[in-house]
Structure 1
């Protein structure tokens, strides 16, 4: 597999995770989700989940098993977030390592190709999911609305990925022209 293929998300949402609808999951035959935590679900300096995220989780969990898999090693932070969402979790994943992703997939008892890795980072979330053969979804980072967003790491990852041949425009266009999906 080429470097570009390893970093190419199967779907670029062009929105935060809140834009990932049941219709999108159905369209891509996604039966299970593994979600990154920091900046995918919760801004980095926050440790509580928003009401919007709670509603999104409640909508998705009816038909789709969800696991949280984070590189963060703070048991206090990740367990607080996971417990408030009532979701199983693994921390200290060291993504792009696949070890903890395999553990979550095994717990779901689903084929790897029917589980999506959802995250905001190319070099951790997308790379780990692609290395395992998962469907990968890149989302916009969840940031604190009270701060001015700055994405130096994200911007660097996109720049390097583009130099390696990863395409970002085609996948974004795919979802932006389909307005049939509702938020929840």
Structure 2
């Protein structure tokens, strides 16, 4: 595997995490999700989950196990978000290190191949998940409705650099058709 392929998500959702459905997860045979927190689940300064996100978690937890794994160092903030979602969490993960992702998969009692890393960042979330052999899902950042023109300079730079290096990450939203076609050709 070339180092560039570590930056290629398996699935690009093309929207926020709320668009990730049980059907998509079942289609890819995903049984567990490791979820990034900042800008994947909540805007950067939020201390708890929105009602919409809590509803999404309740729907998704019916088909997969869930763990929060964040690079954030604020115990009180990540604990508050985790408690509002009733989910276990790990903070200070140092992604793209694989160690905490492996710990979350082990706590779910699942092989890493059945777990997806979901996040909004290529150089932390996608890279860590791919290095461990997880299925990786890139989502758009969760937007704070009070901010009229959100800015994500680090993420924007990662996307630009990744594309400049030749990794395809645009408009590849929901590779469901490609996956379905490859499954049909196997039959």
With the length of structure 2 as denominator, give the TM-score of the two structures.
0.91
- The C-alpha deviation readout for 1:46-101, integer Å capped at 9, x for no partner, is 11211110000000111211000000010000000001111000000000001110
State how 1:75-90 maps to structure 2 within 5 Å: 75-90=75-90
Unpaired runs of 5+ residues, structure 1, are: 177-184
Stretches of 4+ moved more than 2 A in 1? 173-176
- Write the distance in 2 (CA, Å) between the matches of 1:16 and 1:175: 17
| CA RMSD in angstroms, aligned pairs only | 1.3
Structure 1 segment 17-166 matched on structure 2, within 5 A: 17-147=17-147, 148-166=149-167
Deviation at 1:172, TM superposition (A): 1.8
For structure 2, list consecutive stretches of 5 or more residues without a partner in the other structure: 178-187
Q: Match of 2:173?
A: 172
Instruction: State the aligned residue count.
Output: 176
TM-score by length of 1: 0.92
Verify the 8 A CA contact 2:4 2:165 in the aligned structure 1: yes
- Preserved CA contact (<8 Å) 1:96 1:128: yes
CA distance, structure 2, for counterparts of residue 46 and residue 110 of structure 1: 30
What's 1:182 paired with?
Answer: none
Q: Give the match's secondary structure for 2:68.
A: strand
Give the SS at the match of 2:116: strand
Contact 1:43 1:144 in 2 (8 A): yes
Q: Structure 1: how far apart are the matches of 2:88 and 2:60?
A: 15
Q: Deviations over 1:145-179 (max 9, x none)?
A: 11121111111001111122110235226469xxx
CA distance in 2, matches of 1:76, 1:151: 24
Distance in 2, Cα, partners of 1:124 & 1:95:
5
CA distance in 2, matches of 1:19, 1:63: 15
What residue in structure 2 maps to residue 181 of structure 1?
A: none
Aligned mates of 1:165, 1:158 — CA distance in 2:
11
Q: For the residues of structure 2 that align with 1:62 and 1:86, how far apart are their CA atoms?
A: 14
- Check the 8 A contact 1:13/1:175 in 2, yes or no: no
CA separation of 1:100 and 1:14: change in aligned 2, threshold 3 A: same
